[in-house]
Amino acid sequence: MSDNRMEERLLGTEAKDISSLTGRVWVESKKIWRVTFPAMLARGTSFGILVVTQAFIGHISDTELAAYALIQIIGIRFACGIILGMSSATETLCGQAFGAKQYHMLGIYLQRSWIINLVTSTILVPVYIYTSSIFKLLGEEDEIAEAAGYIGLWFIPILYSFAFSFTIQKFLQCQLKNTIVGWLSAISFAIHVLLSWLFVYVLDWGIPGAMGALIISNWFVVIGELVYMFGGWCESTWKGFTWAAFADLWSIIKLSISSGIMLCLELWYNAVLVLLAGYMTNAAVAISAFSICLNILAWELMVGLGFLAGASVRVSNELGQGNAKAALFTIKVILGTSIGIGVVFWILCLVFGQQIAYIFTSEEDIVEAVSRLSILLAFSVLLNSVQPVLSGVAVGSGRQSMVAYVNIGSYYVIGVPLGVVLAYVAKLEVQGIWIGMIIGVATQTGVLSIIIYRTNWDEQVNRASARLNKWLLKRPQDSSESSATEQ
């Protein structure tokens, strides 16, 4: 009970005795960072694990390195992106249920998401089985396609680990318990580096060694999260397995699908642009320069995704509690914080734009190409400080389908076609593609800003309440507890 009271105080609205704006911002910032920092740590180390694997595979052979890069497009951006996107439905429902003090529903929502994600993962398995054939149809060299097909089979256990880890992370962070996720991810990263060195260099196991280390490190996080849940650290929100998880699945499926589409449209956007870079005059230099800039952008995006988690949790908690004004205040504080950090990264990119490429390559033609993109990269970094927060607000209020429509229009109706015109018609090459990407993201950011600015948050509170009441399953002891409280 004391644990519950503590969490409720931390998740409640601004303290009544804090009247100054500075005090209110400080209180809200502490709540935001309690979610945001562990989320950043988890995202950063998870991304780092993939980069470490790429580095070890790169020392095996160039063919395997190219194959792994291709697998990341299908295996991570496509298939796993769907699982990650669908898991944001868990974030919406668990966050709002926790705010409404419907604690027992969090475990039920988690189990429903497991059912949906496991079925989705099974449907996606053929993508990994037939990876070689897919790449051959896309015109890749047979040797690289065969190597990609072999590596693709190793990704199947990882796909199933994502079905659990993504949803449990959402489940825990909605309760402000995601510090454990950050620690597990950091430990997993250290274990992964050690196992990769042992399996690839010492034991000389090649691809099986590199991918085996990747599988172990991913499942380590899942097992650690399950031990934390089942060990009694979530006694109010995890009541054990129940058949109630199979009830009203269709409504959850619809929200999960819209969530998956929302995120995948963003992940696939960069993949499409990389493919377009492959048709430039000097394709090797174009792809290398574009990939280097995207890697830098991806690392900075880990910070943005942390703020996405913070915005989603705080907004969903406040809407669940019925606090429209507190939800709006949260949005203002987290946007201000994220933009402030984004400006710092923007300045760093402008100052060190000429030297960034030397971290990744010593080829002068690639360095020059990256240098030409550095100003565009800086403004992409700045946009990354706004766009994830707006997406997090949408997730927190359960409006993923709205963001999906905005993404389609911004990215694929405006961004990609404009990038093609600027690259091939205006002869701007890679810069043209990147300008198209920036305009697409800027359009999405502008549209979401207008939508959120014009949002009636009292109406969003009512919608959250209606959603929670529709899916609420009362526990047998609820009636006796309520009568005892009245007495």
DSSP H/E element including 364: helix 364-383
How does pLDDT run across 397-426, given as a tens digit for each residue? 888 778 878 888 898 889 889 988 998 888
**Confidence label for 2 from pLDDT (cuts 50, 70 and 90):** very low
pLDDT for residue 118 = 92
Mean pLDDT for 5-25 is 58
pLDDT for residue 270 = 67
d(CA 153, CA 212): 11
14-23, 115-124, 252-261, 280-289, range with greatest mean pLDDT: 115-124
pLDDT for residue 283 = 62
**Is the pLDDT assigned to residue 331 strictly greater than 90?**
yes
d(CA 15, CA 94): 24
pLDDT for residue 183 = 92
Mean pLDDT for 130-153 is 85
5-19, 228-242, 250-264, 273-287, range with greatest mean pLDDT: 228-242
How does pLDDT run across 213-224, given as a tens digit for each residue? 999 999 999 999
**Is the pLDDT assigned to residue 168 strictly greater than 90?**
yes
Taking each helix axis from N to C terminus, what angle separates 283-321 and 81-99, rounded to the nearest 10 degrees? 20
Mean pLDDT for 306-327 is 89
**Confidence label for 470 from pLDDT (cuts 50, 70 and 90):** low
pLDDT above 90 covers what percent of the chain?
23
**Is the pLDDT assigned to residue 88 strictly greater than 80?**
no
d(CA 225, CA 231): 10
* Of the listed ranges 301-305, 423-427, 464-468, the one predicted with least confidence: 464-468
**Is the pLDDT assigned to residue 471 strictly greater than 80?**
no
pLDDT for residue 122 = 93
**Is the pLDDT assigned to residue 443 strictly greater than 90?**
yes
Mean pLDDT for 7-19 is 47
pLDDT for residue 240 = 87
Which residues are CB-contacts of 181 (< 8 A; sequence separation ≥ 6)? 38, 39, 42, 168, 169, 172, 173, 221, 225
pLDDT for residue 10 = 44
Cβ atoms of 218 and 49 closer than 8 Å: yes
pLDDT for residue 12 = 47
For 268, phi then psi, to 5°, come to -75, -25
**Confidence label for 203 from pLDDT (cuts 50, 70 and 90):** very high
pLDDT for residue 15 = 43
**Is the pLDDT assigned to residue 294 strictly greater than 80?**
no
User: Tokens 């950090």 label which residue?
Assistant: 341
Instruction: Using alpha carbons only, give the angle 331, 375, 58 rounded to the nearest 5 degrees.
Output: 95
Mean pLDDT for 305-311 is 88
**Is the pLDDT assigned to residue 5 strictly greater than 70?**
no
Report which of residues 40 and 6 the model is more confident about.
Answer: 40
**Confidence label for 22 from pLDDT (cuts 50, 70 and 90):** confident
Mean pLDDT for 181-195 is 94
The structural domains of the chain, with segments of one domain joined by +, span 22-247, 262-472
Residue-by-residue DSSP string for 442-487: HHHHHHHHHHHHT--HHHHHHHHHHHHHHH----TTHHHHHHHHH-
**Confidence label for 278 from pLDDT (cuts 50, 70 and 90):** low
Q: Which amino acid is at 116?
A: I
To the nearest whole number, what is the mean pLDDT of the chain? Answer: 82
For residue 19, give the DSSP letter: -
pLDDT above 70 covers what percent of the chain?
86
**Is the pLDDT assigned to residue 315 strictly greater than 50?**
yes
How much of the chain is helix, strand and coil, in % rounded to 5?
85, 0, 15
**Is the pLDDT assigned to residue 461 strictly greater than 90?**
no
CB count in 10 Å sphere of residue 338: 27
**Is the pLDDT assigned to residue 252 strictly greater than 50?**
yes
pLDDT for residue 280 = 64
Mean pLDDT for 31-46 is 88
pLDDT for residue 275 = 63
47 SS3 class:
helix
CB count in 10 Å sphere of residue 127: 18
d(CA 255, CA 235): 27
pLDDT for residue 216 = 96
pLDDT for residue 6 = 43
Instruction: For residue 59, count CB atoms less than 10 angstroms from its CB and return exposed for 0-12, middle for 13-18, buried for 19 or more.
Output: exposed
Cβ atoms of 73 and 234 closer than 8 Å: no
d(CA 289, CA 433): 12
Report which of residues 255 and 224 the model is more confident about.
Answer: 224
* Of the listed ranges 46-60, 260-274, 325-339, 443-457, the one predicted with least confidence: 260-274
